[in-house]
Amino acid sequence: MEKPDVYKWPGAYPPMQHQKETAIFLATNPRAFCFNEQGTGKTASSIWAADCLLEQGIINRVLIICPLSIMQSAWQADLFKVAVHRKVDVAYGERNKRKAIIEGDAEFVIINYDGVEIVADSIAKSGFDLIIVDEANAYKTPTTQRWKTLNKLITPDTWLWMMTGTPAAQSPVDAFGLAKMCVPSRVLRFFGAFRDQTMINISKFKWMPRPNANDIVFNALQPAIRFTKEECLDLPEVTHVFRDAPLTAQQEKYYKLLKKEMLMVADGEEISTVNAAVNLNKLLQISGGAVYSDTGSVIEFDVSNRLKVITEVIDEATHKVLVFVPFTHTIELLKEHLRGRGIVCEIINGAVPVTRRTEIFKKFQEEPYPTVLLIQPQAAAHGVTLTAADTIIWYSPVTSIETYLQANARINRQGQKNSMTIVHIKGSPVEARLYNMLQSKLEVHDKLIDLYNNEVKESS
């Protein structure tokens, strides 16, 4: 694509300039990373690039690997708008159905991460010469079966584009798996050597990034392109606020007991904590209002203060609202509370089938109801456009900066016309500390992203 004007950019809407530049970059790099920020339209850019390669006969088929939650609502929807002249199919369902689709004649086939292993043999013999991995951080760990399965499918001639708006967000070592799969010559052969190159061992279980870690990661994840929303979209302002929802007397009692004794008995059920991570999780569950016991039972706590604050924020919102709730049972508790007050809401979590999710997202975007979505963050943190909402409520914090950033980007993307508010609910010390940790990790992530931004500016 040396002359982009020659390409007709098919589809229902013309690309913006940054989308054109991204498409040209991808179409001229068989192995590449796209780190465009969430909401900048990188999905459409990759489709235009792939369509160009198909048009020129450089490739024959495209396999798109993405989270289950966005196979239809994001990728299939964009393909229908951007490449309406291409045959598209979604490889989802029982094995024989997936196999038939993979071995069929669709030029673009969409599949979820874990579906790849189910039909890996069919994929290997079905002529996919371009693989697009969306939200590529799912492949950051080379020791997983998921990583090994995909890596075996990639030949020296395979085009591979890996896309994420949050590269190495949790730690510099997250870059190793991405680079080893896409551009293995740019990293050391073994993970341990790369870790020692980028991290300092402070104690038995604690590692800290070396001063030059961001430079090493930047060089490993090349060639790459990066556009931020600020550079290419005129989006309204985002305001981050924190609201206190004090623990009730019942919550306070068991929170202190668990924290002090690492063991508690409530409602006849024993709840033990064997390490700091589990203890943290239990403290968050108590803060949210529902705890899972060692026998799998659910113990509910009085969480009236938090429910009151959530209801207040929803009542104050001028448009629709997303509520991110990390724990499954707490979502049910919140749904019952809101529906009891006449608030029309729907749930999105891992138990909701992909077709049903797509229906709910469509209604949320296009119809008056539902007005509130209660979302388990991992189930809809990626790729989905939910700009009918201008308010996000974090019922309680998550531990992943990637999930946090991706979830917030559901409203802060192209198509948003209203000023946005992200509300963080906190009632316990552990929640306050987690929100602070997310902010500190965000600073590390921003420093890495600045390298890509500076590189772009210096190259222009």
| Complete DSSP assignment for 372-434 | EEEE-HHHHSSS---TTEEEEEESS--S-HHHHHHHHTTTSSTT--S-EEEEEEE-SHHHHHH
Give domain status of residue 190, yes or no.
yes
Same domain, 176 and 256: no
Residue 150 lies in a domain: yes
Tell me whether residue 442 is in a domain.
Answer: no
Instruction: Indicate whether 316 belongs to any domain.
Output: yes
Q: Which residue carries 């896409």 as its tokens? A: 182
Do 11 and 35 have their domain in common?
yes
364-385: average pLDDT: 89
Q: Are residues 114 and 167 in the same domain?
A: yes
What whole-number distance in Å separates Cα of residue 356 and Cα of residue 370? 14
- Is the residue at 457 inside a domain? no
User: Same domain for 87 and 201?
Assistant: yes
Which of the four pLDDT bands, split at 50, 70 and 90, describes residue 451?
Answer: low
Residues 328-355 have pLDDT tens digits of: 888 988 999 999 999 999 999 989 988 8
Residues 229 and 240 in one domain: no
Query: Does residue 273 surpass a pLDDT of 50?
Result: no
Structure confidence at residue 3 (pLDDT): 40
Q: Provide mean pLDDT across the span 100-123.
A: 97
Domain CATH for 358 = 3.40.50.300
Is 270 within a domain? yes
Q: Both 330 and 284 in a single domain?
A: no
Both 72 and 209 in one domain: the answer is: yes
Same domain for 363 and 385: yes
The answer to whether position 78 is within a domain reads: yes
Tell whether 291 and 314 lie within a shared domain.
no
Residue 362 corresponds to which tokens in the numbers above? 């469509």
Domain count, the chain: 3
pLDDT tens digits, 50-61: 999 999 999 999
- What length does the chain have? 460
Host domain of residue 296: 249-302
- Check residues 296 and 314 and name the one with the higher pLDDT: 314
Amino acid 215: pLDDT: 94
Shared domain for 178 and 223, answered yes or no, is: yes
Same domain? For 55 and 188 the reply is yes
CATH code assigned at 195: 3.40.50.10810
Whether 96 is in a domain gets the answer yes
Same domain (yes/no): 298, 192: no
